[in-house]
Structure 1
Amino acid sequence: MKFAANLSLLFTEYPLPERFAAARKAGFDAVEVQFPYSLPLDDIAAALARYRLQLVLINIPAGNWAQGERGLACLPEREAEFAAGLEQALHWARALGVGKLNCLAGVPPEEADTDQVQATLEANLQLAARHCHDNGIQLMIEAINTEDIPGFWLHSSHQVLELIERLKLPSTALQYDVYHMQIMEGNLISTLKQNADKIGHIQIADVPGRHEPGSGEINYPNLFKALEQMGYSGHISLEYNPQTTTEAGLGWLKHWTIQDRTP
């Protein structure tokens, strides 16, 4: 199986520019960054080349994160901002060789009309899917639990899969976050098996706490065995908050990978 380090949550002992080196030293050859846009694009390109890393996924800009925004796709009257963020993400993806862009639906205002919210989401997803398809990039749509982010518009795998099918979105797949879906719906292995051909990316963390696999209630050995049996060939991203340091918490990974650990 192929594992990737999410540099937004892992190796936070170091500033973001130094996390690329830390990931390679720990044995990773693939990484993802939620929102890399705070760094110069050329600096990221240089770090990826220097440490022989593949950047597998980034997110489309999600609004003002510091003020609680968690995506623009479902927000009425923010369509122009979403389109601009999409174009920025596509530019970065083309420049850095990123094959997947993740779209966060967001949390609509409480007073927003639900029909308008849904129509806005669908129009923005159609725009994103079309542009990603034209650029040879796969669009990911992620469902997120409403315990951590109350009001998040897409919060089940069924919602995402229904949208992809009904809207006939090209080059689009479900980004299956095991942590979020354990909280919202459980039944992880069955869902993965039933939708193996519709899942484009997997992220992992344990429940509760969003810590390392093995720290909570999810039976990760069984889940990984199921993914192997399914023939899942995409990356599995470590998107969790280490209980101590990142390096101290990577012991669980040794059984599942034989990646080269040479810096």
Structure 2
Amino acid sequence: MSFELSVNLEYMFHEAGERLEDRMAAAAAAGFTKVEIFTTGNRDVPSLKAALGASGCQLISVVTDPRHRLIERDTHEAFREMFRIAAQEAVELGCRNLVVPSGPAVPYMRRPMQLEIVAEAMASLLPIAEELDVTILLEPVNTRHDHPGVLFSMTEDAVKVAEMVNSPRVRLLYDMYHSITEGEDPTVILPAVAQWLGHVQIADAPGRGEPGSAKVDWPAMLRLIASVGYTGPIGIECSPTRPTAEALAYIQQLCA
């Protein structure tokens, strides 16, 4: 059982400083050749591209702007414009995965209707995704601790939208930390959504520390991920409890 690992530079390798370029070099020195970041907005894309080349790292995913209120149709045009820019910058960096958040839910509209409107927004991105050859990753995140008020709080929310859009360009980003924190059981959820998996991310729970810092049985969870047929990289999106390279040594060993 082996997996390649990618590391989110927003959370890790802070020892190297504030610049993502320097964190990228530190990640490469620690043996990681795949990295992830949040948005490219207001960032020096040519500098990031040069750093990727110098470090030998591959950018696995970037996140689009999460502030769009997608349950309101009059936001969809601006959402598409934002997505095109984000996708163009991702492609410039050699990245083909765009994480697209759901935006907030509202209390005055039935949940199925909200999901339907968000599915319309996602479907409207398909021509851009086809043109630029990128994949849209829908990510559920927990509302209990990290992201109160978001629409995609349960894995089923994102899967329902993916089903409505019904395109190979729209896949699920399953973050095990968010799933567990929201009260889901990965042994039940992962087999049920395996056909939609586009990417998997992990952190320990509770606390979102590095794997091995809390209560999750990581050998068992890695076997579970392998058992559903997932063979892509596993993204680590944690807040290390000690120096990053040291903190990640355990999961590196397990995945080697």
Work out whether the TM-score is over 0.5: yes
Counterpart residue type for residue 248 of structure 1 = E
Counterpart residue type for residue 139 of structure 1 = I
Map of 2:49 onto structure 1: 45
Map of 1:164 onto structure 2: 162
Q: 1:253 aligns with which of 241, 245, 251?
A: 251
Find the aligned partners of 1:131 and 1:59 in 2 and give their Cα distance.
16
Alignment of 1:1-263 (within 5 A): 1-13=3-15, 14-15=17-18, 16-63=20-67, 71-108=68-105, 117-147=114-144, 148-258=146-256
Find the aligned partners of 2:12 and 2:182 in 1 and give their Cα distance.
24
TM-score (norm 2): 0.89
Find the aligned partners of 2:137 and 2:48 in 1 and give their Cα distance.
22
Contact 2:40–2:90, Cα closer than 8 Å, also in 1: no
Find the aligned partners of 2:85 and 2:193 in 1 and give their Cα distance.
30
Aligned residue for 2:201, secondary structure, equals strand
Find the aligned partners of 2:21 and 2:108 in 1 and give their Cα distance.
40
Contact 1:73–1:104, Cα closer than 8 Å, also in 2: no
Shift of 1:190: 2.9
Aligned residue for 1:214, secondary structure, equals coil
Unaligned 5+ segments in structure 2 are none
Counterpart residue type for residue 42 of structure 1 = P
Shift of 1:109: 5.5
TM-score (norm 1): 0.87
Shift of 1:194: 2.8
Closer, same or farther: CA 133–228 of 1 in aligned 2, 3 Å: same
Aligned residue for 1:78, secondary structure, equals helix
Find the aligned partners of 2:83 and 2:33 in 1 and give their Cα distance.
26
Number of equivalent positions: 251
Q: Deviations over 1:29-77 (max 9, x none)?
A: 10010113232111111011111111010011223xxxxxxx5433453
Shift of 1:245: 2.2
Find the aligned partners of 2:163 and 2:206 in 1 and give their Cα distance.
32
CA RMSD between the two structures: 2.1
Shift of 1:253: 2.1
Find the aligned partners of 2:112 and 2:255 in 1 and give their Cα distance.
46
Counterpart residue type for residue 140 of structure 1 = L
Counterpart residue type for residue 193 of structure 2 = N
Closer, same or farther: CA 198–108 of 1 in aligned 2, 3 Å: closer
Find the aligned partners of 2:109 and 2:184 in 1 and give their Cα distance.
30
Shift of 1:113: 8.0
Map of 1:67 onto structure 2: none
Counterpart residue type for residue 193 of structure 1 = P
Find the aligned partners of 1:157 and 1:223 in 2 and give their Cα distance.
17
Counterpart residue type for residue 133 of structure 1 = E
Find the aligned partners of 1:234 and 1:9 in 2 and give their Cα distance.
21
